[in-house]
């Protein structure tokens, strides 16, 4: 069924429950792969209804061995199965996962299952911020240097990790962005990537982790916890100190990085000190697989960035417009403001969305220092930020009803040589199905200007 390795023996005749179908294509791709690989029954369950998941349901209609249970979960679907494939963001204390454990049913996650089945070397990247940029930097540089197909997976938009089994060969190399949920799966499997990059550790997803930073860190620590002696962990001194404070042993080599490891003449296409640190982490990881400095610096210099991550979109009437949609925390928006403002206080910021319960003082101070105007879209985070801005000093603020209205107001407010920065600082689910839908709307609006 593929040009790569053959995994039909593993899936043949199995009964599998896929927990979480979603609309991003990952759950659909995973379920379809298992069905096509010869599973006896693939039961897909999601709390969203058939109507809400219409696009995904449509893609599975031709698979006769796929059964859908939507709008609910049932205990019976978590017993008597060969394994449960768990989607991202399923609550840690889910009664259904607990039911599966008591019934002796293994829990698996698609990125970790890809790693288990293929055994290919994996460069894994995690961290609260910067993991997408570092992942794409490494993938871009490796692809350029080797001229070969490097597998890109993990937390990548629209990518089903099990569909990647179709292209995995004996001599493949994979680069994977791994969020804390996907790393839960690596923990269940007792494995870690051969080369692990841990970019930073900040407050995030506290609504999921119930304000327990240690629980959040322990999930992320699965990126290095089960490495062999030959493994390499590339991280910052701050993350390494946090790990030592939790008595987490590192078996392999530890490489500590900061932006000073890059020579001053190493050019990057992306602005900001935080992107130099991202590049430094990528540099150390690529050095660990014996890429030459020349190859690495060529790759870093030609990497233009990732959509939605401090991405320069276009200039309109000498106003530069940046898309930083994936800045879903106050820290990320603060970093964007510091990267773009050259001391002119010429940024018109579009922000707002659903609250994650993260502290706001640094963002409020950065807004006061760098912004001439702030335009906020609706959401629980918006309400809290507005209070913080108003109590924290002068900043012209305006709350609008939609992103379209925000872009129009920003265009009217921005003058010659100003910057319009879309950097929400909060999650998207107040108004959108997911952050990608918000990203696409912003890009459509800007490209029409």
Residue 3 domain-assigned?
no
Instruction: Give the range among 15-24, 130-139, 391-400, 424-433 with minimum mean pLDDT.
Output: 391-400
The phi, psi pair for 41, rounded to 5°, reads -150, 130
Residue 376 domain-assigned?
yes
Mean pLDDT of 317-324: 95
Q: What is the CATH number of the domain that holds 249?
A: 3.40.1190.10
Residue 36 domain-assigned?
yes
Q: Where are the beta strands (DSSP E) in 118-231?
A: 122-126, 151-154, 174-177, 195-198
Instruction: Find where tokens 């709350």 sit.
Output: 399
> Is-contact 430 402, C-beta < 8 A?
no
Mean pLDDT of 82-100: 93
> Is-contact 12 42, C-beta < 8 A?
no
Question: Would the pTM of this model clear 0.75, i.e. be above it?
Answer: yes
**Total number of domains constituting the chain:** 3
Q: What is the CATH number of the domain that holds 90?
A: 3.40.50.720
- If pLDDT is split at 50, 70 and 90, which confidence band does 392 have? low
Give percent above pLDDT 70 in the chain: 98
- If pLDDT is split at 50, 70 and 90, which confidence band does 3 have? low
Mean pLDDT of 205-209: 87
pLDDT at 158: 85
Q: Are residues 172 and 240 in the same domain?
A: yes
Q: Are residues 271 and 363 in the same domain?
A: no
Q: Are residues 169 and 270 in the same domain?
A: yes
Mean pLDDT of 90-113: 95
Kindly tell me if the per-residue pLDDT of 2 is higher than 60: no
pLDDT at 377: 95
Kindly tell me if the per-residue pLDDT of 146 is higher than 50: yes
Kindly tell me if the per-residue pLDDT of 193 is higher than 50: yes
Q: What is the mean pLDDT of the chain?
A: 93
Mean pLDDT of 78-100: 94
pLDDT at 342: 74
Strands, sheet with 107-108, edge to edge from the N-terminal-most edge strand: 66-70, 41-46, 15-19, 83-86, 107-108
Q: Are residues 139 and 32 in the same domain?
A: no
Residue 2 domain-assigned?
no
Mean pLDDT of 85-102: 93
Q: Are residues 61 and 207 in the same domain?
A: no
Q: Are residues 188 and 236 in the same domain?
A: yes
| Cα(374)–Cα(360) distance, integer angstroms | 15
Give the distance from CA 271 to its chain's centroid: 20
Q: What is the CATH number of the domain that holds 376?
A: 3.90.190.20
- If pLDDT is split at 50, 70 and 90, which confidence band does 357 have? confident
What is the extent of the structural domain holding 222? 111-301
Q: Are residues 147 and 79 in the same domain?
A: no
Residue 144 domain-assigned?
yes
Please say which residue of 91, 108, 125 terminates a domain: 108
Helix (H) or strand (E) holding 287: helix 273-288
pLDDT at 394: 61
- If pLDDT is split at 50, 70 and 90, which confidence band does 393 have? low
Please say which residue of 273, 301, 329 terminates a domain: 301
Residue 1 domain-assigned?
no
> Is-contact 234 197, C-beta < 8 A?
yes
Residue 178 domain-assigned?
yes
Residue 306 domain-assigned?
no
Mean pLDDT of 282-286: 98
Mean pLDDT of 170-191: 96
Please say which residue of 301, 325, 347 terminates a domain: 301
Q: What is the pLDDT of residues 154-163, one digit of tens each?
A: 999 889 999 9
Kindly tell me if the per-residue pLDDT of 1 is higher than 80: no
Q: Are residues 372 and 410 in the same domain?
A: yes
Q: Are residues 297 and 317 in the same domain?
A: no
Q: What is the pLDDT of residues 26-71, one digit of tens each?
A: 999 999 999 999 999 999 999 999 999 999 999 999 999 999 999 9
Q: Are residues 127 and 78 in the same domain?
A: no
Helix (H) or strand (E) holding 241: helix 237-245
Q: Are residues 442 and 328 in the same domain?
A: yes
- If pLDDT is split at 50, 70 and 90, which confidence band does 303 have? very high
Q: Are residues 229 and 269 in the same domain?
A: yes
| Cα(293)–Cα(411) distance, integer angstroms | 43
């Amino acid at each position: 069924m593929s040009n790569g390795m053959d995994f039909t023996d593993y899936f043949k005749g199995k009964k599998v429950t896929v927990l979480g179908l979603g609309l991003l294509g990952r759950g659909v791709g995973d379920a379809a792969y298992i069905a096509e690989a010869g599973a006896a029954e693939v039961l897909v369950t999601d709390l969203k209804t058939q109507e809400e998941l219409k696009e995904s349901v449509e893609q599975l209609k031709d698979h006769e061995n796929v059964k859908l249970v939507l709008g609910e979960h049932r205990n019976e679907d978590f017993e008597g199965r060969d394994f449960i494939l768990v989607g991202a963001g399923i609550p840690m204390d889910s009664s259904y996962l607990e039911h599966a454990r008591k019934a002796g049913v293994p829990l698996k996650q698609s990125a970790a299952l890809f790693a288990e089945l293929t055994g290919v070397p994996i460069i894994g990247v995690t961290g609260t911020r910067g993991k997408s940029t570092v992942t794409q930097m490494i993938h871009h540089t490796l692809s350029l240097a080797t001229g070969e197909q490097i597998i890109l997976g993990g937390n990548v938009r629209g990518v089903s990790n099990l569909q990647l089994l179709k292209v995995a060969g004996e001599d493949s190399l994979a680069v994977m962005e791994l969020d804390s949920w996907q790393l839960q799966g690596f923990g269940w499997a007792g494995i870690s990537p051969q080369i692990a990059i841990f970019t930073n550790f900040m407050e995030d997803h506290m609504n999921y982790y119930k304000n327990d930073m240690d629980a959040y860190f322990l999930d992320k620590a699965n990126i290095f916890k089960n490495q062999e002696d030959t493994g390499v962990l590339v991280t910052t001194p701050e993350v390494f100190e946090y790990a030592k404070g939790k008595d987490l042993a590192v078996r392999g080599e530890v490489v500590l990085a900061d932006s000073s490891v890059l020579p001053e003449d190493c050019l990057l296409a992306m602005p900001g000190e935080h992107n130099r640190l991202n590049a430094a982490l990528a540099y150390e990881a690529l050095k660990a697989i014996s890429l030459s400095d020349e190859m690495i610096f060529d790759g870093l210099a030609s990497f233009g960035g990732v959509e939605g991550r401090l991405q320069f979109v276009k200039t309109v009437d000498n106003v530069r417009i940046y898309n930083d949609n994936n800045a879903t925390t106050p820290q990320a928006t603060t970093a964007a403001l510091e990267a773009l403002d050259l001391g002119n206080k010429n940024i018109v910021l579009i922000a707002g969305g659903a609250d994650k319960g993260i502290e706001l003082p640094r963002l409020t101070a950065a807004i006061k220092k760098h912004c001439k105007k702030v335009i906020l879209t609706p959401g629980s985070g918006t309400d809290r930020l507005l209070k913080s801005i108003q109590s924290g000093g002068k900043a012209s603020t305006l709350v609008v009803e939609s992103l379209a209205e925000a872009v129009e107001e920003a265009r009217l407010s921005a003058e010659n040589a100003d910057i319009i920065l879309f950097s929400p600082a909060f999650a998207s689910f107040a108004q959108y199905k997911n952050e990608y839908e918000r990203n696409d709307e912003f890009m459509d609006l800007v490209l029409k200007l």
